[in-house]
């Protein structure tokens, strides 16, 4: 409770810039609230270039505006805190190793107040529920994964490590059925539910990404590019940015190929394999992304916590690397964000450390997963 109270206090005082750059809550006050109004009229915000989210995000952003007696901001934060409590509860239930719940409880505040001003906790809840219900009900797990994927795509990766055979058929069958049903409901309830597809095509290279760190170093060496706010993030524009973005997409494709290869070659399976595979996959896709926003660490913290609920996990070292990366991410944004934007040596160093920790996490995670599951 004390950690969440401290996070909430920072969020309430966000406009006074208590820690470096302010404006952490601006997206809820302005962007999310505006989208909620548009969604209440029965349409997705198709005319807004900042809308780049799958249609499942619509209901999540609509609901805070429907709660009586609260402003949009108050309702949004209240629902986020309730979801945070739900995640903590399911992590601590039954005979699960308590280290998972402790990691989530202690790790989230390392990101300061950012998690309370984004809806990534809600997305993470779908992934956590999908993994922790898998052994009891593969169909329910598939449904949770599908609902999460319709909000931010990546929760579909929670089904990557499902045991072959009947369990895979049940989980993926339920996921496809749930996704189809939800898409039909959204298509009937809202206009233009698939407008987000065109919004992703113009994304550049965000300054916090691996490619962004490379471009920051290039700018110190004389590259003429600059930083510009576009598509809801600070991104690099200039010569060769398109090539860096294309390289990121190729690396993402390569990560998918490696994961598929692992899936086909894996022979041994433990109770923790789905947890470990999910963390490994999301780490890979995060590191190779053109956009590594600070809130992406919420996903990794949630998946790390799930891994630690099992005594069979191979990802304990990875969980520690994710914890460290979460703390450094808070330094990058909001504490030292002015340096990151300006590309000072301090800003570059912070981003290099954060991204280096994530890269190390990918290496350790996949190596551990491969060793534990190979024949």
In this model, does residue 204 exceed pLDDT 90?
A: no
Q: Is the pTM of this model over 0.85?
A: yes
pLDDT band at 375 (very low <50, low <70, confident <90, very high): low
Tens of pLDDT, residues 20-58? 776 788 889 889 999 999 999 999 988 888 888 899 999
pLDDT at 202: 59
Query: Domains in the chain: how many in total?
Result: 1
pLDDT at 198: 62
3-class DSSP string for the chain: CHHHHHHHHHHHCHHHCCCCCCCCCHHHHHHHHHHHHHHHCCECCCCCCCCCCCCCHHHHHHHHHHCCCCCHHHHHHHHHHHHHHHHHHHHHCCCCCCHHHHHHHHHHHHHCCHHHHCCHHHHHHHHHHHHHCCCCCHHHHHHHHHHHHHHHCHHHHHHCCCCCCHHHHHHHHHHHHHHHHHHHHHHHHCECCCCHHHHCCCCCEECCCHHHHHHHHHHHCCCCCEEEEECCEEEEECCCHHHHHHHHHHHHHHHHHHHHHHHHHCCCCCCCHHHHHHHHHHHHHHHCCCCCCCCHHHHHHHHHHHHHCCCCCCCHHHHHHHHHHHHHHHHHHHHCHHHHHHCCHHHHHHHHHHHHHHHHHHHHHHHHHHHHHCC
Q: Which domain holds residue 42?
A: 2-373
pLDDT at 197: 67
In this model, does residue 320 exceed pLDDT 80?
A: yes
pLDDT at 199: 56
pLDDT band at 295 (very low <50, low <70, confident <90, very high): very high
pLDDT at 230: 84
pLDDT at 271: 94
């Amino acid at each position: 409770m004390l950690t969440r109270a401290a996070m909430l206090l920072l969020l309430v005082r966000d406009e006074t810039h208590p820690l470096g750059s302010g404006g952490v809550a601006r997206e809820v006050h302005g962007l999310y609230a505006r989208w909620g109004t548009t969604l209440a009229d029965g349409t997705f915000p198709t005319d807004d270039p900042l809308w780049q989210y799958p249609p499942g995000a619509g209901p999540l952003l609509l609901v805070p505006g429907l709660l009586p007696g609260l402003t949009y901001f108050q309702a949004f934060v209240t629902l986020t805190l309730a979801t945070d409590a739900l995640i903590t509860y399911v992590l601590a239930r039954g005979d699960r190793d308590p280290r998972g719940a402790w990691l989530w409880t202690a790790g989230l505040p390392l990101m300061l107040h950012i998690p309370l001003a984004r809806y990534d906790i809600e997305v993470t809840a779908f992934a956590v529920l999908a993994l922790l219900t898998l052994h009891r009900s593969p169909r329910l797990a598939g449904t949770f994964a599908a609902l999460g994927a319709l909000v931010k795509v990546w929760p579909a990766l929670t089904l990557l490590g499902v045991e072959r055979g009947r369990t895979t058929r049940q989980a993926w069958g339920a996921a496809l059925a749930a996704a189809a049903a939800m898409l039909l409901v959204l298509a009937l309830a809202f206009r233009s539910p698939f407008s987000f597809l065109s919004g992703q095509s113009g994304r550049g290279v965000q300054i916090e990404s691996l490619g962004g760190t490379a471009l920051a170093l290039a700018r110190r060496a004389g590259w003429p590019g600059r930083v510009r706010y576009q598509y809801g993030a600070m991104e690099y524009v200039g010569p060769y940015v398109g090539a860096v973005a294309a390289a990121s997409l190729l690396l993402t494709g390569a990560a998918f190929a490696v994961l598929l290869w692992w899936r086909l070659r894996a022979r041994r399976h433990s109770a923790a394999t789905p947890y470990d595979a999910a963390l490994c996959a999301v780490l890979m896709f995060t590191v190779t992304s053109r956009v590594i926003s600070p809130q992406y660490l919420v996903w990794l913290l949630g998946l790390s916590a799930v891994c630690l609920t099992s005594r069979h996990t191979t990802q304990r070292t990875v969980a520690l690397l994710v914890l460290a990366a979460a703390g450094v991410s808070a330094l990058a944004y909001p504490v030292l964000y002015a340096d990151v934007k300006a590309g000072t040596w301090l800003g570059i160093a912070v981003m290099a450390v954060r991204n280096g920790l994530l890269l190390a996490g990918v290496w350790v995670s996949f190596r551990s997963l491969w060793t534990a599951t190979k024949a």
